[in-house]
Structure 1
Amino acid sequence: MGGTMDGTKQRRRGDTRQRIQDVALELFAEQGYEKTSLREIAERLEVTKAALYYHFKTKEEILVSIFEDLNRPVEELVEWARQQPRTLETKQEIIRRYSEALLAAAPLFRFMQENQATVRELRIGEMFKTRMLGLRDILLDPDAELVDQVRCVSALFTLHAGMHVMQDVEGDPEDKRRAVLEVAIDLVTQAHRGARDS
């Protein structure tokens, strides 16, 4: 019986943590990170500040936890990709999987895009940069021409830009996502072929 109760307590604690993250990200998006206080997050959640402190002591702790949770698929992708041969098929699969990870973490990446100055000052800025460099290094061929290196990096940024720029373009969201993905895969394909031809 003790095991079930422990499991229930753990699940409830996890649900509260998730609710805090969701509400905090919602408030950060609505009014900006700097203008959002822990008190406002607690009020929106209808909990005391002490209850919020049980899970997170600062806004940055909340943001870092959101980043770590939503970015876990990217970490797993980097680890998987490091084990794979540097083939065109692997690079295309990396781009596909990264596109899916971005979609799952869309609210966080929107926040990061709209709050770039804040993100640079916080720990998540450096964490994000490190993960992006990891993906870049996996996609790049060591001896690639500069133009092909630019294509690989541009493929990643195409996926990021597509999340934001394409919101203002008419059309079905899934069609737009597929179009952005197609362009990113095309860039990696060109870069890979260019590296093989040189």
Structure 2
Amino acid sequence: MTARTQPHKRNTHHDIQDIALRLFVERGYEHTSMREIAEELHITKAALYYHFKTKEDILVTISAGLGGPVDELIAWGREQPRTLETKRELLRRYSEVLKGATPLFQIMQENQAALRALSIGRTLNDRVSTLSALMYEPDAPLRAQVRISDALLSVHFGAVSLHAIQGDPEEKRQALLESALETLESAAVAGL
């Protein structure tokens, strides 16, 4: 058989993540079992366990894939001067990164009690804290720091909360980013 006539090879590892993510969003993390994930994929539980031992393992793998771009953004931000333009760019890039991570943040938001003790929650918190540290100036007035926090959290939580608002997802994301950038600009006026 040549490469052109070979049947499409299934990427079970990736399929598991896609199905699990969909089920976690639809049913909730706590209310989705490994058996249900296996059934959706038309594989045995043993085959599922070959790839992932627990639901947490699946969620951690999904998070790692979506978290990589945030880690790259943090690395970029550490190399930049701490200017207003850098902070604007951090917000823009973070907004772009979150575009693909909305389902994960929705799971995190809606399943806080179940996920509180899992490593994924701590990892996400560490990433957001590190990104926050790149935005703040230790000697800035409190009012400026609060506005910077507002801008960052607006982009962060807006990725999840905007699903309740009607409209085009990209238009909503752009409107949210515009609002966050205006808040950041007000921080500069307040003494950034």
After TM superposition, list the pairs within 5 Å mapping 1:59-70 onto structure 2: 59-70=55-66
* Structure-to-structure mapping, 1:39-188, within 5 angstroms: 39-188=35-184
Q: What amino acid sits opposite 1:111 in the alignment?
A: I
Q: Choose 30-39 or 186-195, whichever is displaced more.
A: 186-195
Quote how far apart the aligned CAs of 1:165 are.
Answer: 3.2
Query: Which residue of the partner structure matches residue 33 of structure 1?
Result: 29
1:37-57 Cα distance to aligned partner (Å, 9 max, x none): 111111111111121112111
On the 8 A contact 1:78/1:135 being kept in 2, the answer is: yes
Structure 1 residues 91 and 12: CA distance shift in structure 2, 3 A: farther
Does the C-alpha gap of structure 1 residues 153 and 12 become closer, same or farther in structure 2, counting only changes over 3 Å?
Answer: farther
Amino acid at match of 1:146: L
Conserved 8 A contact 1:152-1:191: yes
Give the deviation of 1:12 after TM superposition. 5.4
Question: How far apart are the structure 1 equivalents of 2:118 and 2:168?
Answer: 35
Which structure 2 segments of 5+ residues have no match?
none
Task: State, as a whole percentage, how many aligned pairs show the same letter.
Answer: 52
Q: CA RMSD in A?
A: 2.0
Deviation of 1:193 after TM superposition, in Å, equals: 4.1
Deviations 1:62-116 (A, max 9, x none): 0111111011100110011001100111110100010011101111111111111
Structure (1 or 2) with the greater helix fraction: 1
CA gap of 1:142–1:12, structure 2 versus 1, over 3 A, is farther
Is the contact between residue 152 and residue 188 of structure 1 (CA under 8 Å) also seen in structure 2?
Answer: yes
Residue 19 (structure 1) shift: 0.9
Gaps of 5+ in 1: none
Q: Is the 8 A contact 1:156 1:184 kept in 2?
A: yes
What TM-score does the superposition give when structure 1 sets the normalisation length?
0.87
Moved over 3 A (4+): none
Aligned residues: 187
Structure 1 stretch displaced more, 32-41 or 74-83: 32-41
